[in-house]
């Protein structure tokens, strides 16, 4: 059964989508069967959340909003997982946390 | 006759031998002319690069592991090679296609306004060159044993994966004496010279003096003979020194001197036998706080500190809290544009102003203390309040951890003695658990002369009677008050200062690991 899901989250991590967070994000994304995409604006351009090369190329900074969308059998779970990871500051408390 | 070039010595020692040029590998490759073979060659080179990095990751820790993990993730992403594959299909040789594709990525990072992203360009270059080396059939470390690595600059990964068991040297046209690689080279005793400027294109043999910063490219027979003689003398002296490495350092009158080591990175520990020293006298925690990288969180710091404590197996380990500022800026932490950074917001002044950063470090230290014999010291203390405020904060962190049910200990808290105000009146600091004399900064502040300015460097002399008198004063007060005193500056590893230090009553010295045997041998003669 295929579904679609989407959501958005503000990046609070103090350096944004940097190397280590990007590694974690793409590893997480690859764990889902659905296609999973992220973007810096609601209109896109949408990029593959499973590609670290493309995720890093976004250069998403702290306080910017990350839009997430997915399509596939586990779409909702995938979107929820990404949003939760970003909310948890990628599980690394940086400066000031 | 070979040409002599003057640079800056970054790590002592002599070397005479062949040269391996860094970052010139791709030039040696000839394209096969077939699209299929070129594509396969690129894929194989990428797979080999991933395998290299996986092996390397097993040997490193903390930040180095994160850097490598990022490089692996990039290489495993097909999107990285996609533009190169397209170019190969259009008839471009694999090494040219790969180079062009990565240069495009690198340019993207270099153009970023953000320091963090810009710093990743170095990782991309590292990735590019590693794959190019495999493409040209020149494996990452093949042929480097016993050679001098010569290039513009050198990546930390290149140092880490080079087999130094047969010796070697590092010769850089640019580079810095304070780089991570320079620290690693000093720890391993690999001669290194930086800042040489342009060097001849064809260098087959090179003579390197890491102490004076001089290199001779393609030395002639007479020059080689002279250098070989110096090398033989050094090697003989080293052989004699080696006999003392695992013995306790003892003076002729039987006085036992503790010899501890100064370290900066966990990688250094792999090559040092803890039995050769009496512990770690100075662990510079700044290595975790790299310029352009995110601040390390509590767990990252805890894991790193724990490694040092466990390595020492019960021997004391003194970790210095963050000592940045001065000549060690970290963007986002140290102030910009200070008129006189050595007299500005550095050391404990900075950490007390950034309590969030200080707390994270103190919590990590309290947790690591559970695993061995940990002591903590604060740098750049000037007034007793800085010590008492640090101690109160440490207590608060420990109480907080205990309330959270997290295992922790409150290690003894001592101070660095490097500000003259402290050395003149050490009795004001009787609350310190120990004193560690930082002779480099103490000398610079007492003589008001910087080591880095060649015009005044001769004034910056640790043998100045005023510096010696202050060291003696601190040692004397420590003895009278029952406060342990040690010295952890460069003067501890220079034999010409040794007699004066022992005469001042010091019985604990902390030096670069490469100096252990030399220092113990010198002590045995006094």
Give the separation between CA B116 and CA B291, rounded to whole angstroms. 9
CA atoms of B204 and B220, how far apart (whole Å): 12
Out of B53-57, B61-65, B159-163, pick the least confident: B61-65
Pairing of the two strands B485-487 and B435-437 = parallel
Give the pLDDT confidence score for residue B163 in this predicted structure.
80
Contacting A residues, span 55-94, partner chain B, CB-CB under 8 Å: 56-57, 59, 61, 92-94
Confidence of residue A89 (pLDDT cuts 50, 70, 90): confident
Confidence bin at B182 (pLDDT 50/70/90): confident
More confident residue, A7 or A61: A7
When the pLDDT of each residue in chain B is averaged and rounded to a whole number, the result is: 89
Let me know if A97 is a catalytic residue: no
Q: Which of B180, B221, B214 has its CA nearest to residue B196?
A: B214
Task: Decide if pLDDT at A95 tops 50.
Answer: no
Residues B279, B312: contact at Cβ < 8 Å? yes
pLDDT band of B291, cuts 50, 70, 90: low
A93-97, B55-59, B112-116, B259-263: segment of lowest average pLDDT: A93-97
Q: What is the mean pLDDT of residues A11-33?
A: 86
Give the C-alpha separation, A1 to A81, whole Å: 19
Q: Which residues of A touch B74 (CB under 8 A)?
A: 52-53, 56
Q: What is the ipTM of this complex?
A: 0.85
Residues of chain A with Cβ-Cβ distance to B69 below 8 Å are: 20, 23
What digits encode the pLDDT tens for the residues B419-434?
999 999 999 999 999 9
Which residues of B, range 99-138, sit inside 8 Å of A by Cβ?
105, 108, 112, 114, 116-117, 120, 123
Highest mean pLDDT among A60-69, B206-215, B336-345: B206-215
Q: Is the peptide bond before A45 cis (omega within 30 degrees of 0)?
A: yes
pLDDT at B493: 82
- pLDDT number for residue B138: 61
pLDDT score of B249 more than 70: yes
Shortest CB distance from A23 goes to which of B73, B116, B297?
B73
Q: Which site among B80, B108, B115, B116 would you substitute to test the A interface, given the most A Cβ atoms closer than 10 Å to its Cβ?
A: B116
C-alpha span between B105 and B121 (Å, rounded) = 8
Instruction: Write the pLDDT tens digit of every residue in B192-231.
Output: 999 999 898 888 899 999 988 999 999 999 999 999 999 9
What is the per-residue DSSP string for B446-476?
HHT--TT-TTTTTT--TTSHHHHHHHHHHHH
Please report the pLDDT score of residue B435 as a whole number: 98
For residues B170 and B149, the answer to whether their CB atoms sit within 8 Å is: yes
Closest Cβ–Cβ partner in B69, B105, B356 for A23:
B69
Q: How far apart are CA B75 and CA B73, in angstroms?
A: 6
| Residue from the list A18, A27, A53 with its beta carbon closest to the beta carbon of B294 | A18
The catalytic position among A6, A16, A18, A61 is: A18
The whole-model pTM stands at: 0.67
Question: For residue A48, what are the β-bridge partners?
Answer: A37
- Rounded to 5°, the CA angle B148-B181-B227 comes to 30
Q: Which of these is catalytic: B180, B371, B397, B408? A: B180
List all residues 6 or more positions away from B484 whose beta carbon is below 8 Å from its beta carbon.
B433, B434, B435, B478, B508
pLDDT category of residue B488 using cuts at 50, 70 and 90: very high
**pLDDT score at B134:** 86
Q: What is the edge-to-edge ordering of all strands in the sheet holding B192-194?
A: B3-6, B214-217, B205-209, B14-21, B148-151, B169-172, B192-194, B8-11
CB spacing of A18 vs B105 below 8 angstroms: no
Q: Is the pLDDT confidence value at B329 over 90?
A: no
């Amino acid at each position: 059964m295929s579904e679609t899901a989407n959501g958005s989250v503000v990046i609070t991590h103090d350096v944004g989508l940097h190397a280590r967070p990007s590694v974690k994000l793409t590893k997480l994304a690859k764990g889902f069967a659905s296609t999973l995409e992220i973007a810096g604006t609601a209109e896109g351009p949408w990029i593959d959340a499973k590609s670290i090369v493309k995720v890093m190329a976004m250069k998403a900074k702290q306080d910017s909003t990350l839009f997430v969308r997915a399509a596939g059998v586990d779409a909702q779970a995938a979107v929820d997982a990404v949003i939760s990871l970003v909310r948890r500051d990628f599980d690394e408390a940086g400066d000031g946390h | 006759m070979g040409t002599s070039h003057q640079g800056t010595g970054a790590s002592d020692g002599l070397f005479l031998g062949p040269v391996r040029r860094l970052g010139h590998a791709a030039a040696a490759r000839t394209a096969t002319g077939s699209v299929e073979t070129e594509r396969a060659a690129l894929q194989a080179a990428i797979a080999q690069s991933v395998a290299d990095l996986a092996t390397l990751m097993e040997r490193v820790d903390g930040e180095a592991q994160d850097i490598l993990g990022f490089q692996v993730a990039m290489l495993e992403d097909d999107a990285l090679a996609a533009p190169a594959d397209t170019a190969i299909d259009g008839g471009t040789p694999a090494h040219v296609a790969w180079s062009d594709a990565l240069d495009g990525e690198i340019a993207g990072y270099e153009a970023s306004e953000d320091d963090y992203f810009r710093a990743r360009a170095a990782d991309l270059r590292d990735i590019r060159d590693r794959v190019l080396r495999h493409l040209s059939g020149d494996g990452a470390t093949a042929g480097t044993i016993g050679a001098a690595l010569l290039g513009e600059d050198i990546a930390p990964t290149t140092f880490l994966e080079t087999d130094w068991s047969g010796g070697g040297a590092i010769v850089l046209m640019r580079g810095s004496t304070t780089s991570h690689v320079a620290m690693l080279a000093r720890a391993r005793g690999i001669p290194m010279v930086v800042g040489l400027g342009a060097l001849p294109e064809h260098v087959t043999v090179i003579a390197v003096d890491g102490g004076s910063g001089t290199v001779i490219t393609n030395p002639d027979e007479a020059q080689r003979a002279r250098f070989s003689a110096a090398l033989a003398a050094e090697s003989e002296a080293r052989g004699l020194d080696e006999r003392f490495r695992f013995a306790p350092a003892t003076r002729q009158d039987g006085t036992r001197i503790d010899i501890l080591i100064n370290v900066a990175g966990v990688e250094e520990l792999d090559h040092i036998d803890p039995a050769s020293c009496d512990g770690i006298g100075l662990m510079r925690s700044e290595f975790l706080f790299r310029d352009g990288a995110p601040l390390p969180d509590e767990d990252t710091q805890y894991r790193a500190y724990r490694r040092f404590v466990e390595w020492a197996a019960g021997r004391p380990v003194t970790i210095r809290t963050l000592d940045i500022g001065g000549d060690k800026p970290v963007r986002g932490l140290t102030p910009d544009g200070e008129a006189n950074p050595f007299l500005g917001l550095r050391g404990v002044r900075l950490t007390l102003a950034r309590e969030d950063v200080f707390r994270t470090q103190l919590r990590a230290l309290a947790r690591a203390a559970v695993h061995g014999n940990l002591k903590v010291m604060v740098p750049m203390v000037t007034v007793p309040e800085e010590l008492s405020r640090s101690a109160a904060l440490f207590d608060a962190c420990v109480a907080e951890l205990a309330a959270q049910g997290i295992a922790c200990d409150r290690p003894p808290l001592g101070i660095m003695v490097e500000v003259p105000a402290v050395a003149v009146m050490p009795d004001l600091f009787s609350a310190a658990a120990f004193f560690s004399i930082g002779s480099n900064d103490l000398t610079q502040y007492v003589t008001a002369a910087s080591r880095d300015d060649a015009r005044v460097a001769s004034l910056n002399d640790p043998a100045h009677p005023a510096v010696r008198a202050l060291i003696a004063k601190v040692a004397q007060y420590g003895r009278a008050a029952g406060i342990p005193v040690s010295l952890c500056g460069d003067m501890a590893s220079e034999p010409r200062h040794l007699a004066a230090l022992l005469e001042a009553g010091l019985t604990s010295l902390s030096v670069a690991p490469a100096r252990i045997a030399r220092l113990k041998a010198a002590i045995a003669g006094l």
